[in-house]
């Protein structure tokens, strides 16, 4: 019952966070485009994605500690729980310092590699270094999140993220009005980065998640080797995921320019909110799945995992269809037609979303079993292959061609490999995993796909605002009804 309660609480708060994200998007994008040129917005989006790669400095250590804490949290007396946290705080501090050094020294080189124009280069370098300070501080305090994660209290982290979103939105508006320009992002981030850790520490102490006297344990070479071995696999896994799903802005910027990067950022903003809607239930279930493995509950593990695969696939179908119905119209209205986003892009992203709905659960399952095999290398090959292919195709096929590259690379590598790994672990046939487990989602895809096509063609002659209202109504009524009935 406690496990189900934690799952429900974590899932509910994560969806609340996504709702706040939607509000942030609806309010922030028109303001940003009003106060900043598209090129400056594209510059900031590029910077954010580059800073995302700084997370790779972690080398997988943080995720490894989070996973191993689950194995040791029920028995603190032996000191392993406290020893892991001591190592995490020490390593996180060192990594924060390393991030600061890398960003400070590499900023001019990155400006050159990304082909930042001469008039924006000094601004880019200064922004990157200032954001480096903020990221280094946040990195150093990440072990606070690990304790909450291991005890299935991600809802507290989510409340912190919600506060940061709302506070940063208010601060962003304030600084834009005050004429701070693109530096408004930095000032808002800096203030929220100082407040959040205080709240997290207070909750860790309130819930008794910090080790008591005598529970901190001694530094253990055995534990460190275990963390490092597991972390190295996670590092390669995360690197592959980063290249696969978080390189598009960099590719677009280099192949098509900063304004195209801004168009990509705005056009895919809702996709970046829809994807978590699909994956959050599985993410909220992961700590419970870790616990089942630690306690040897294998039959329950198979049942719960299959349920998560079915749910995620059906959510992927419903959200993909709803995204096609609404996104291009939404982008045009939101930006007052300053940004044109073809529905072809949305259709391709919908196909990719459905593919990811099945790939995500099976690929991430290796973190549950701690048996990575070649998964990390497959994802790494996929990410590298995508970048090389997209840089070539993007110059000729534009954004649509780049999305097509994402679909192709995912299908031929991580999608099928992840499923085959699940087949071996649960001793099932490929057909059982790839078809039988997701049959409700496949049925939903056929029915809802036809409905989406009919509605799109049937409203083609109406004004965009009316079309968006009708499409949203169809997604919110018929789409949900089909999801509940078929999915």
Angle at 448 between CA 442 and CA 451, to 5 degrees: 150
pLDDT at 451: 92
Q: pLDDT-based confidence at 223, cuts 50/70/90?
A: low
Instruction: Evaluate if residue 479 carries a pLDDT over 70.
Output: yes
Indicate the average pLDDT of the chain.
Answer: 81
Q: pLDDT-based confidence at 454, cuts 50/70/90?
A: very high
Average of per-residue pLDDT across 180-192: 87
Q: Which two tokens stand for residue 473?
A: 């109504």
pLDDT at 231: 67
Average of per-residue pLDDT across 169-186: 87
The top-scoring range by mean pLDDT among 53-67, 351-365, 367-381 is 351-365
Average of per-residue pLDDT across 320-332: 88
Q: pLDDT-based confidence at 474, cuts 50/70/90?
A: confident
The predicted model scores a pTM of 0.65
Average of per-residue pLDDT across 474-485: 88
Cα separations (Å) of 43 from 122, 125, 145, 300, 318? 12, 11, 30, 48, 33
Angle at 401 between CA 396 and CA 406, to 5 degrees: 140
Average of per-residue pLDDT across 286-313: 84
Higher pLDDT, 332 or 52: 332
Average of per-residue pLDDT across 44-73: 72
In the 3-class helix/strand/coil scheme, how is the chain assigned residue by residue?
Answer: CHHHHHHHHHHHHHHHHHHHHHHHHHHHHHHHHHHCCHHHHHHHHHHHHHHHHHHHHHCCHHHHHHHHHHHHCCCCCCCHHHHHHHHHHHHHHHHHHHHHHHHHHHHHHHHHHCCCCCCCHHHHHHHHHHHHHHHHHHHHCCHHHHHHHHCCCHHHHHHHHHHHHHHHHHHHHHHHHCCCHHHHHHHHHHHHHHHHHHHHHHHHHHCCCCCCCCCCCCCCHHHHHHHHHHHHHHHHHHHHHHHHHCCHHHHHHHHHCHHHHHHHHHHCHHHHHHHHHHHHHHHHHHHHHHHHHHCCCHHHHHHHHHHHHHHHHHHHHHHHHHHHHHHHHHHHHHCCCCCCCCHHHHHHHHHHHHHHHHHHHHHHHHHHHCCCCCHHHHHHHHHHHHHHHHHHHHHHHHHHHHHHHHHHHHHHHHHHHHHHHHHHHHCCCHHHHHHHCCHHHHHHHHHHHHHHHHHHHHCCCCCHHHHHHHHHHHHHHHHHHHHHHHC
The top-scoring range by mean pLDDT among 223-232, 396-405, 432-441 is 432-441
pLDDT at 227: 67
Q: Give the tens place of pLDDT for each residue, 68-124.
A: 777 767 677 777 777 777 777 877 788 788 888 888 888 888 888 877 878 888 888
Cα separations (Å) of 84 from 80, 179, 287, 343? 6, 46, 17, 49
Q: Which two tokens stand for residue 151?
A: 């005890």
Distant-in-sequence, close-in-space partners of 67: CB < 8 Å, separation ≥ 6: 230, 290, 367, 370
Q: pLDDT-based confidence at 450, cuts 50/70/90?
A: very high
Q: pLDDT-based confidence at 448, cuts 50/70/90?
A: very high
Q: Where are the alpha helices (DSSP H) in 370-428?
A: 375-410, 416-426
Q: Give the tens place of pLDDT for each residue, 198-208.
A: 888 898 888 88
Instruction: Evaluate if residue 1 carries a pLDDT over 60.
Output: no
Angle at 360 between CA 356 and CA 362, to 5 degrees: 125
């Amino acid at each position: 019952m406690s496990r189900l309660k934690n799952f429900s609480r974590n899932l509910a708060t994560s969806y609340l966070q996504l709702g706040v994200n939607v509000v942030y998007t609806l309010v922030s994008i028109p303001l940003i485009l009003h106060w900043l040129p598209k090129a400056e917005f594209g510059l900031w989006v590029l910077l954010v994605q580059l800073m995302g790669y700084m997370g790779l400095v972690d080398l997988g250590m943080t995720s490894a500690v989070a996973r191993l804490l689950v194995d040791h949290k029920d028995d603190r007396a032996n000191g392993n729980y406290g020893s892991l946290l001591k190592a995490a705080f020490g390593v996180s501090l060192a990594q924060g310092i390393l991030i600061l050094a890398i960003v400070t020294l590499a900023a001019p080189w990155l400006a050159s590699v990304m082909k930042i124009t001469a008039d924006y280069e000094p601004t880019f370098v200064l922004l990157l270094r200032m954001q480096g300070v903020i990221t280094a501080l946040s990195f150093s305090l990440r072990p606070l999140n690990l304790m909450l994660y291991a005890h299935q209290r991600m809802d507290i982290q989510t409340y912190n993220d919600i506060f940061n979103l709302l506070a940063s939105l208010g601060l962003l508006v304030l600084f834009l009005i005050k004429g701070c320009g693109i530096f408004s992002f930095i000032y808002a981030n800096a203030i929220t980065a100082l407040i959040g850790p205080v709240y997290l520490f207070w909750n860790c102490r309130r819930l008794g998640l910090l080790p008591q006297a005598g529970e901190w344990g001694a530094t253990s070479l055995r534990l460190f080797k275990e963390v490092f071995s597991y972390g190295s696999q996670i590092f390669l896994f995360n690197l592959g995921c980063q290249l696969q799903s978080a390189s598009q802005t960099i590719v677009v910027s280099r192949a098509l320019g900063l304004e195209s990067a801004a168009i990509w950022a705005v056009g895919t903003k809702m996709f970046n909110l829809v994807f978590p809607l699909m994956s959050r239930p599985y993410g909220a279930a992961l700590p419970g799945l870790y616990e089942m493995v630690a306690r040897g509950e294998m039959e329950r593990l198979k049942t719960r995992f299959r349920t998560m695969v079915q749910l995620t696939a059906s959510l992927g179908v419903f959200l993909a269809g709803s995204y096609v119905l609404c996104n291009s119209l939404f982008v045009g209205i939101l930006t007052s037609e300053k940004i044109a986003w073809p529905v072809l892009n949305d259709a391709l992203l919908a196909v990719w979303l459905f593919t990811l709905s099945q790939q995500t659960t099976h690929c991430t399952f290796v973190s549950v079993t701690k048996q990575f095999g070649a998964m990390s290398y497959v994802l790494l090959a996929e990410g590298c292959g995508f970048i090389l292919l997209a840089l070539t195709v993007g110059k000729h096929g534009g954004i649509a061609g780049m999305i097509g590259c994402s679909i192709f690379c995912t299908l031929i590598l991580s999608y099928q490999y992840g499923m085959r790994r699940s087949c071996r672990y649960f001793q099932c046939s490929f057909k059982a995993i790839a078809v039988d487990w997701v049959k409700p989602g496949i049925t939903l895809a056929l029915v809802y796909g036809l409905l989406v096509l009919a509605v799109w063609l049937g409203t083609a002659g109406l004004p965009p605002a009316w079309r968006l209202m009708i499409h949203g109504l169809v997604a919110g009524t018929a789409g949900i009804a089909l999801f509940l009935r078929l999915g």
